[in-house]
Structure 1
C-alpha cells in the first residue's frame, strides 16, 4: 500500500498481473485531503485513508470526489500530474509505471495557483 499522495509528473500505470485498487482525487479538491503541509510534513502526502476514510476525523473528505477503481491484468491508467492517488494491493501483483514530465509548464503554474489560493 502506498500513502495517499500526488506526483508532479504524468503517470501511466500498466497492470501486468494480479490486482490493485486505486482511489483518485482531483487537484482542485486538495484541501479536502488535508495535505500534510499543515503538520510540517511533505505537502504532496495526505493522512487520509482514501479507501476507508474516517469522516468524523476528516469531514471535508466527504466532498473530495474520491473515486476508486480496480486494476486488473491488461489495464492501463493515466494519472495526471498533481492528482491525489492512494494505491492498495489486493493480492500479489506486478505493475509498471512510466512517469514523464508534462509538455507544458502550464500544469505546474496552475498547481502553484491552487496551492497558494491565489487563482
Structure 2
C-alpha cells in the first residue's frame, strides 16, 4: 500500500475517525460500572458474607441425622413401654372386676 495516496485524505479521515472513536468510547463507558456501583456491590457482598456466616453458625447447632435417629429410637421405645403398660392395666382391670364381683356376691 502506498502512503502517498492516503496523505491528502488524512485530515479528512481524522475528522471522521476521531468523533466516531469518541462516540464509541462514550457508548462503551456507559456500559461499564462506576466506582459507586462497585462500592455498593462490595457492601452488598460483605453483608451477604456476614449473613452466610451467621447462618452457618446457627445451622451447626441444629440436630443432624444421627440426632433424629436417636430420637426415633427413643419414641419407639416409649411406644413399646406404653403398650406393655396398657396390657398390664388390662390385666389389673380384669382382676379388679373379678374381686368386685366376688365382694358383691359375698355381700348378698
Q: TM-score, length-normalised on structure 1?
A: 0.15
Greater Rg over alpha carbons, structure: 2
The higher-RCO structure (CA 8 Å, 6+ apart) is: 1
Higher strand proportion: 1
TM-score, normalized by length of structure 2?
Answer: 0.16
